[in-house]
Amino acid sequence: MSFSGKAGLMIAVLAIALYLSAFTVNQAEQVIITQFGRPIGDPVTEPGLHFKLPFVQQVNSFDKRYLAWDGPMVEMSTKDKTYVQVDTFARWRITDPMRYYLRLRDERSAQSRLEDILGSETRTAIARHELIEVVRTDKERKPFIDETLGDLAGEGTLGVLRPIRVGRVAIEKHVFDAAAPKLEEFGIELLDVRFKRINYNQQVLERIYQRMISERLQIAQRFRSEGEGEAARIKGNKERDLNEIQSTAYKRVQEIQGEADAKATEIYAKAYAQKPDAAKFYKFVKTMETYRKVINSDASVVLSTDSELFGLLKRVEKGD
């Protein structure tokens, strides 16, 4: 082999060795160099071109960005022995890649450890507080009051929130404060913990539904009572107005009838007062009208011989 051929071969080998020893780190990565499974040197956290020994050294990269942990929905008991299903969510990142690699190796193991620690601390925090503390955001929350309730709001349990001591936000902070130091031992910084969803157990749902039904029935009964009271008031006003109208009308009828009777009497008096015979005839007619009203077919009359009616009957019998 000629000198130029040997030189070319050496250059090719050097190029391959240089290619196998060079690696790049981007801005979202941090790298641990291992040799036969053992870490060598400090973690590489700066982005750019870096080198390692080819074949014997391996590059282990880890994400430097914020990572998510989305825990499974887990059923747990509150302090008042009420079962709820809690779905927890957290953000974390790798701050000590060397410790992280030595303790966990990869993200799959980290997710498993996060689930163990955060799940355990969540169950502990939930068990220390009652259900109302878990579902309420914080103790400063003001309830929404339906305007249609009117003065019903605040009566009994309607529109009234039971006072609490901490609230869900404070419970989440308790979980964070308890879990963060434990995760630091694995080179992990816990950034945030939140309860993504809290579902009621079926038995709890039944109790909540019954309470909702009871409150709705209470509102309905109040509305019915107010409606019945208003109906009674309207009916009473109607009866009063009808009686007033009837009384006024009856008074007017009597006034008109009295005026008519007075006018008729005045006309009769003028008519029958013109001659003595007319006055006698008027007296006779009025007497007959009186007898017609008093005496009927079923009446029995006892008369004295000197009564006007007896004399009249005698004259009728004689044909006078």
- In a domain, residue 32? The reply is yes
> pLDDT tens, 83-140?
889 999 999 999 999 999 989 988 899 999 999 999 999 999 999 998 888 888 877 7
Is it the case that residue 143 has pLDDT exceeding 80? no
Written as six digits, the tokens of 210 are 């019954």
Q: Which domain range does residue 103 map to?
A: 67-145+155-200
Question: In terms of Cα–Cα distance, which of 128, 132, 118 is closest to 200?
Answer: 132
What would the two tokens of residue 275 be? 């001659």
DSSP structure class, residue 161: P
Q: What is the CATH number of the domain that holds 181?
A: 3.30.479.30
Best CA proximity match to 175, nearest among 115, 126, 110: 126
Tell me which DSSP letter residue 155 carries: S
Domain boundary residue, one of 63, 88, 110:
63
Helix, strand, coil shares, percent, the chain, to 5: 55, 20, 25
Q: Which residues pair with 92 in a beta bridge?
A: 67, 190
Q: Are residues 173 and 223 in the same domain?
A: no
Angle between helix 168-184 and 107-127 (nearest 10): 140
Q: Do 283 and 260 share a structural domain?
A: no
Residue 194's nearest CA partner among 319, 15, 76, 69 is 69
Instruction: Examine residue 54 and state whether it is found in any structural domain, yes or no.
Output: yes
Q: Let me know if 27 is exposed, middle or buried by CB neighbors in 10 A (0-12, 13-18, 19+).
A: exposed
If asked whether residues 179 and 226 sit together in one domain, one would say no
| Tally of domains within the chain | 4
Residue 150 lies in a domain: no
Considering the entire predicted model, what is its pTM? 0.59
Give per-residue pLDDT as tens, 207-251: 778 878 887 787 788 788 888 888 988 998 998 999 989 988 988
Would residue 37 count as lying in a domain?
yes
Q: Is residue 77 part of a domain?
A: yes
Contact 183, 65 (CB under 8 A): no
Under 8 Å between Cβ of 159 and 103 = no
Last residue in a domain, options 63, 83, 103? 63
Same domain, 182 and 294: no
